Amino acid sequence: MALNRKAAFINLTTEDIEIKEIPKELREKFLGGRGIDMYLLYNHIKPGIDPLSPENVLLVSAGLLTGTPAPASSRTHVGGKSPLTGAVGSSNMGGFFGPELRFAGFDHLIITGKASKPVYLWIYNGKIEIRDASHLWGEDSITTQALIQEELADEEVKSMTIGVAGENLVRFANVRTSIKNAGGRSGMGALMGSKNLKAIAVRGNIPIEIANPQEALRNHKELIDFIQSSKYAEIMGHWGTMFIYDVTNSTGLIRTRNFQTNQLPNSEELECEEMEKYSTGVSACFGCTMHCRHKYLLKEGPMEGEYAEGPEYTTLGAFGTEVGNNRLHRALEGNHLVNKHGMDTLSTGSMISWAMELYEKGLIPDELRGDLDLRWGNMDAVLQLVDDIANRRGLGDILAEGPKRAAEKLGKDTLKYNIQVKGMSNLHSDERPTPSLALGIATSTRGADHLRSRPAIDLYHLPENVLEKIYGHEGMTSDYRDYEGKPWMVFWQECLYALVDALGICKFQTVFLSPNMPKWEEYSKTIELITGLKFTPDELMKTGERIYNLERMFNMREGFTKADDTLPDRYFEEPTPDGLDVVKGKVIDREKFEKMLEEYYTYHGWDSEGKATPETLKRLNLINEPSNML
């Protein structure tokens, strides 16, 4: 059955492994993937633990629909207490690892303890082995996967690995599978490295039984036709997320030179059409028809001849606008380097651009900087810092600690220049003209975030009646500069994104960058046809809300409060200097922001301090947590 996959409890200290059934009641409450992982996180660690201690839990899972006839059902979720923020650690990646984990018989891995030496897990058709990985320690995240395939004599083995950044406990190190796919946010690579766990390798051929196979296939075909009929799918299949750059930069919605301007002039080379010079084709994740990633070759410089994949829109910020670089080839070099080392592209670029602004302001001591020339656009220095961060050398060792810890070492006055929320760096977008996006990054459970609640379609000026139909709520406004109606947008998107992460579906094929994508109704039907579980659309939205509330409960248990649901002062105090007239001279109005926050809390059923009321906990069936069902 589609539900007949197990949970494995693996203690790396004792090497004990226990395999358990996943209770149906847990499925009905949290589905799978991020949903059950967040339940396990709340239930399996004590408050206040050090995220890099053996007491932390590393959670690796596939979604409820991963590996089935559901469009874009490729996703893997990785969770734990974040070494970067101390809040919810939660990351998501595509590729083929998640489906292969399910084919091997498992939906959830709950990994505790710390191995006495480097190890990797080998999971095959219901069996789990802990194997020596001493010979893999020090290898990059891509080479490691190839060496494991060679060792196991099977090129179809799929691995989730860390690079040297994870080994060195860089707090924004990520986990990786294949060449491009990354669980990028919240430092799950550092968590994995703290356990001396270099990789998890999976292979399996246990069939996933579908409840209603013929109807599920028909439904799949209908959904694919619907998705592919949109202009958005056509563009994504040709350019990937790079297509966003031209629109946002020409408007003035991109932070440049850290946060000093909101537009990068003379940057035509970063636009998606330029990728034709490097691209050798496009590829996709398991079960996806969109093919949103480029395969490319670097054609000059020290990395000439290297094969890579990407870049995402975030890379054009991390190694483009934020550091003042307008050359695509240099951004592609940065993309490849962070992927090999296993670091979050977004956090890496943001930390480096922060250091460049500090250098400009004379806030980095010369003895710490060494011979690094941190002037804007100097990509040799940027790439050197990428290496230094991964290997914890000099200034890189400080930046590897993430925003708040690095600011403690560089001087408390430096933090105000770092664009972060809850200790996690923000995307290279500039939300000063867009209150809905600003509220989303301020309230996200894992810190500054564009994948947790972002109502990106707010930027499209859709007619108000269309917005009201999509969001099922009155009072929507078509102007992204308005404050009215935005709290509901953020709340609605939070619930939807929590749901799709629990299902194992890619956000690119839900209402994120396009309104013409599957929603609650389509997921309700798909879940029943594949698993036999029945949920109304309203019940699915409630499930998403339940997952988000549990994450909020975890954060508050760890000491986070309403005071953390805010933005850097620069959002409120420094007007946007550039861009079109519609965005120029904008700041977030503090009073209006506070009203948005209050309204947002009301939709969640939280009190004035952002804490779920007893009535809300009862309504969401969270009143008895932790309930220890698994």
CA distance to 267, 439, 473, 536, 593, per residue, from 486 (Å) = 32, 8, 11, 25, 10
Alpha carbons 242 and 319: distance in angstroms, whole number: 13
Q: Is residue 540 a contact partner of residue 520, using CB atoms and an 8 Å limit?
A: yes
pLDDT digits (tens, 9 = 90+) for 224-270: 999 999 999 999 999 999 999 999 999 999 999 999 999 999 999 99
- Cα–chain-centroid distance for residue 585? 30
pLDDT digits (tens, 9 = 90+) for 307-336: 999 999 999 999 999 999 999 999 999 999
pTM of the model: 0.97
602 pLDDT more than 80: yes
Q: Is residue 484 a contact partner of residue 475, using CB atoms and an 8 Å limit?
A: yes
* pLDDT bracket for residue 4 (50, 70, 90): confident
Task: Calculate what percentage of the chain has a pLDDT beyond 90.
Answer: 98
Query: Tokens in use for 296?
Result: 């490319």
Domains 241-421 and 435-619 share a fold: no
CA distance to 137, 239, 598, per residue, from 235 (Å) = 40, 6, 38
In this prediction, residue 494 carries a pLDDT of 98
| Cis ω before 626 (30° cut-off from 0) | yes
The CATH fold of domain 241-421: 1.10.569
Q: For all residues of the chain together, what is the average pLDDT?
A: 96
In this prediction, residue 412 carries a pLDDT of 85
9 pLDDT more than 80: yes
In this prediction, residue 539 carries a pLDDT of 98
pLDDT digits (tens, 9 = 90+) for 427-468: 999 999 999 999 999 999 999 999 999 999 999 999 999 999
Architecture, CATH, for domain 6-203: 4-Layer Sandwich (3.60)
Out of 2.60.40.350, 2.115.10.20, 1.10.599.10, 3.40.640.10, which CATH number does the structure's domain 435-619 have? Answer: 1.10.599.10
285 pLDDT more than 60: yes
614: how many CB neighbours lie within 10 A of its CB? Answer: 10
pLDDT digits (tens, 9 = 90+) for 563-596: 999 999 999 999 999 999 999 999 999 999 999 9
The domain limits of the chain are: 6-203, 241-421, 435-619
In this prediction, residue 1 carries a pLDDT of 57
38 pLDDT more than 90: yes
**Maximum C-alpha span of the chain:** 68
DSSP character string of 312-381: -HHHHIIIIITTT---HHHHHHHHHHHHHHTB-HHHHHHHHHHHHHHHHTT-S-HHHHTT----TT-HHH
- Cα–chain-centroid distance for residue 49? 23
In this prediction, residue 64 carries a pLDDT of 97
Alpha carbons 280 and 169: distance in angstroms, whole number: 34
| Cis ω before 311 (30° cut-off from 0) | yes
pLDDT digits (tens, 9 = 90+) for 497-519: 999 999 999 999 999 999 999 99
218 pLDDT more than 60: yes
186 pLDDT more than 70: yes
Write the CB contacts of 621 (distance below 8 Å, at least 6 apart in sequence): 29, 546
Q: Which is nearest to 324 in space by CA: 282, 355, 361, 286?
A: 355
Give the amino acid at 171.
R
pLDDT digits (tens, 9 = 90+) for 407-430: 999 998 999 999 999 999 999 999
CA distance to 75, 200, 208, 287, per residue, from 68 (Å) = 11, 22, 7, 8
- Cα–chain-centroid distance for residue 444? 12
Write the CB contacts of 367 (distance below 8 Å, at least 6 apart in sequence): none
In this prediction, residue 178 carries a pLDDT of 95
